[in-house]
Chain A
Amino acid sequence: MKKLENKVAIVTGSTKGIGKAIALTLSSEGAKVIINGRSNSTEAGDLVNEIQKKGNTAMFIRADVSKMTEVKEMVNQVLEEYGKIDILVNNAGISRDAFLVEMSQEDWWEVINVNLGGVFNCTKAVIRPMMLQRSGKIINISSITAEFGLRGQCNYASSKAAINGFTRSVAVDLATFGIQVNAVAPGMIATKMTEKLRKIAGNRILPLVFLERFGEPEDVAKVVLFLASDDSNYLTSEIIHVTGGLGAGIGARYWRG
């Protein structure tokens, strides 16, 4: 039996990158997956087709997670279609890197509204049905930058650190109702979002990664699968670093004799 048979999962921001890998991984374990993005795209349609071709179930719902009305419409549509929500993966996120002195207020708030506001909106919108059914898994995608400074990321790092606080706090509120809330904090993952950074600073960051490679979206997706499945039923309020060791010490290569 597959690990997520008959489960319904919403993965926000899942038309590409880590979100896409999560959607593919959860669906391959039998979950009915809601693909979400803030605009209609060919990528979204292609992903739904790819999942359906493998005999699994998926649908695309357009919604901007920073807008509560759109999030509520998405959740209502899922409830009409499938009657329940078992798993929410809050993955949608953007970055607008700049030195603080040059960062506009718009860049600050847009990142906070999407990354942190989106987590609040989506979690709030799914929580009543989950509390009534007395089960649920909420997985927030954080970042290692919540723990360690990275140049030009004060907006992004703040949003991700706040997600960690949200995760720990909401985990307490919801434990009584059989709902587990955890976060995954990826390190340097080879996606479009990190493309520029890897090009500019990759050779300096890589020696800090114990496992001596950048992560693949699937490396994150497999941990999300664990948190979405019954294998993690005794786990809540946890922030799991998926970094290959980045940030866990002062690096692998520097100490070679």
Chain B
Amino acid sequence: MEKEEIFEVVKEGLVEVLGVDEDNVTMDSSFYDDLGAESLDMLDLFFRIEKETNIRISRSEVQKVLQGDLSEEEFFDENGIVTPAGLEHVQKLLPDSNLTEIAEELDQLKLFSLFTVRHLVDIVGDKASKSRNE
């Protein structure tokens, strides 16, 4: 499944779930800040994607992509802010964002707001190519 096809599925899902205009959904739209999605909307979106593509995604997988191999304790400090090790990992995922500026207030919610349509399309694309190779 090509990235463009996956993007179309995600876009269509977002239009249905959030009632947003399809012109407002781009690869760089962030779910939280730009589109106003909340947790149930994401769950709803994931089921629509699974229905269209047969690819099952969970919210914990999304968290895992952001968190990498770091454990919850390694990733967040006691105040719920992303640790320096966590920051390094996230910065690799988001080369275009300057995270050092917001490092001190980068909690789970803020982190999620950095998650864009492109990231989700990549996750679905990776799973699609993996299942093809199996």
Contacts and interface: CB of A to CB of B under 8 A. Distances in A.
Interface of A: 131-132, 134, 173, 176-177
A176 B44 contact: yes
B47 interface: yes
B50 A177 contact: no
B44 A132 contact: no
A132 B51 contact: yes
Given A134-B47, A176-B43, 10 more contacts: A131-B47, A132-B47, A132-B50, A132-B51, A134-B51, A173-B40, A176-B40, A176-B44, A177-B44, A177-B47
Contacts of B44: 176-177
Contacts of A134: 47, 51
Interface residues of B, number: 6
A206 B47 CA distance: 49
Contacts of B51: 132, 134
A170 B130 CA distance: 34
Nearest to A176: B44
Nearest to B44: A176
Interface in B35-87: 40, 43-44, 47, 50-51
Contacts of A177: 44, 47
A140 to B, nearest CB: 22
A134 B44 CA distance: 10
A135 to B, nearest CB: 12
Contacts of A131: 47
A170 to B, nearest CB: 13
A127 B35 CA distance: 27
A176 B51 CA distance: 15
Nearest to A131: B47
A135 B75 CA distance: 38
A176 B44 CA distance: 7
A245 B50 CA distance: 46
A132 B49 CA distance: 10
Interface string B11-49: 000000000000000000000000000001001100100
